[in-house]
Amino acid sequence: MSQQQFARIKERLAVPVIAAPMFLVSSPEMVIEGCKAGIIGSFPLLNARTTEILEEWMERITQELAAAREEDTAQPVAPWAVNLIVHRTNKRYETDLDLIKKFQPPIVITSLGNPQPVVDIVHEYGGLVFSDVINLTHARKAANTGIDGLILVCNGAGGHAGTLNPVAFLSAVQEFWNGITIVAGCISRGQDIVAMEVLGADMVYMGTRFIATAETFASEAYRSMLMASNAEDLIYTDAFSGVHGNYLAPSIRNAGLDPNQLQKKDTMDFSFAQVSEAKAWKDIWSAGQGVGAIKRTAPIADVVAELREEYEQTYASLVSARKG
Ligand SMILES: Cc1cc2nc3c(=O)[nH]c(=O)nc-3n(C[C@H](O)[C@H](O)[C@H](O)COP(=O)(O)O)c2cc1C
């Protein structure tokens, strides 16, 4: 059932892309404009700093997307998604789950824990659950919980990233999983999306490429640093959240730390309620190895249009190369 439901969603997208949820970066505006442009927009529930704010955001997204669907546009409006941290330290877990029941986002993306309880709730209202995983052990566990989609977070991804190469990760997962498969990590151009489809992915998950879009919460300083950086400016470390992720070395230096002398953070708290945790993500900025593709700030609709053009041209050139 979920495969058919997903096929219907996919055929109406401009490109098979989910704008990945990004802590302190994704905004309701970005979700709305992304969905209107024809990609699945998402945000981490914890980006709304209180439950009241979250309720307002979910209300607004629901209403604005419903209004957009009434308009007669060539591009169908894509479904929206939320990201729920299912780690035991997320103090908002229960209240955020109540809002998921109320607003029924079509897709719920779980991170950092067992998605099973979420699956029952989301399937009850007809939604889909995707889980992000950074290694094969987590992929195998998640595959047995009734989820609809696995998001394989490969090496070089922004935020908490794995260490597996996408070619290896995809082929290993295909041995035990035939559900919806989404790949993440350094995907920046239409060509990259085609490459992942050739390897067997149904869709891609893109974070870094969208950080500097006009609708996000990213500060001017963060945007400038992204535009001045390339893949070699990233440090892969567990110093800031206790889980390995990719961070911009210049932001670490600006915070008075030496990127080469970082210590592992020995506590984890994914409620992001602790001031120190929020501060780490506020002052020390994350990006993936695809950062070099960020050249300017542009509305998300323009980035989607660019991706679509590259995507279609790539398929067209593959077809003509095969014929020729
Ligand atoms: C600034 C930033 C914040 C992120 N925050 C989250 C988050 O709150 N929850 C989550 O599941 N993933 C988070 N991620 C990871 C993304 O959802 C996604 O896996 C990643 O960006 C994909 O790799 P890419 O950046 O190379 O496209 C974050 C990534 C970035 C760059």
Cα of 221 vs centre of ligand 1, distance in Å, is: 19
SS3 217: coil
Cα of 71 vs centre of ligand 1, distance in Å, is: 32
Contacts of 52 (CB under 8 A, 6+ apart): none
**Confidence class of residue 269 from pLDDT cuts 50, 70 and 90?**
low
**Is any ligand 1 atom within 6 A of the Cβ of residue 245?**
no
Q: Report the distance separating Cα 237 and Cα 75, nearest Å.
A: 40
**Is any ligand 1 atom within 6 A of the Cβ of residue 208?**
yes
- The mean per-residue pLDDT over the stretch 258-276 comes to 66
Cα of 287 vs centre of ligand 1, distance in Å, is: 8
Beta bridge partners of 109: 83, 130
Contacts of 17 (CB under 8 A, 6+ apart): 39, 40, 193, 203, 204, 205, 206, 304, 307
Choosing from 15, 18, 23 the residue with most ligand 1 atoms within 8 A of its CB, the one to mutate for a pocket test is 23
Is-contact 82 130, C-beta < 8 A? no
Q: State pLDDT tens for residues 71-106.
A: 988 999 999 999 999 977 888 999 999 999 999 999
Work out which ligand 1 atom sits closest to the CA atom of 46: 8
Return the percent helix, strand and coil in the chain, to nearest 5: 45, 15, 40
Q: Report the distance separating Cα 63 and Cα 38, nearest Å.
A: 17
What pTM value is reported for the model?
Answer: 0.95
Contacts of 267 (CB under 8 A, 6+ apart): 242
Q: State pLDDT tens for residues 163-180.
A: 999 999 999 999 999 999
Domains of the chain from N-terminus onward: 1-218+290-322 (3.20.20.70)
Work out which ligand 1 atom sits closest to the CA atom of 206: 27
Choosing from 96, 135, 235, 286 the residue with most ligand 1 atoms within 8 A of its CB, the one to mutate for a pocket test is 286
Got the DSSP string for 78-95?
Answer: PPEEEEEE-STT-TTHHH
Is-contact 251 211, C-beta < 8 A? no
Q: State pLDDT tens for residues 184-233.
A: 999 999 999 999 999 999 999 999 999 999 999 999 999 999 999 999 99
Choosing from 15, 22, 291 the residue with most ligand 1 atoms within 8 A of its CB, the one to mutate for a pocket test is 22
pLDDT at 324: 72
Give me the amino acid identity at 162. G
Cα of 72 vs centre of ligand 1, distance in Å, is: 33
Closest Cα to atom 13 of ligand 1: 22
Cα of 177 vs centre of ligand 1, distance in Å, is: 23
Beta strands at 128-133 and 203-206: parallel, antiparallel or unpaired? unpaired
Is-contact 130 109, C-beta < 8 A? yes
Q: Give the number of other CB atoms < 10 A from CB of residue 204.
A: 27
Closest Cα to atom 3 of ligand 1: 22
Closest Cα to atom 5 of ligand 1: 22
Token readout for 310 is 């590259």
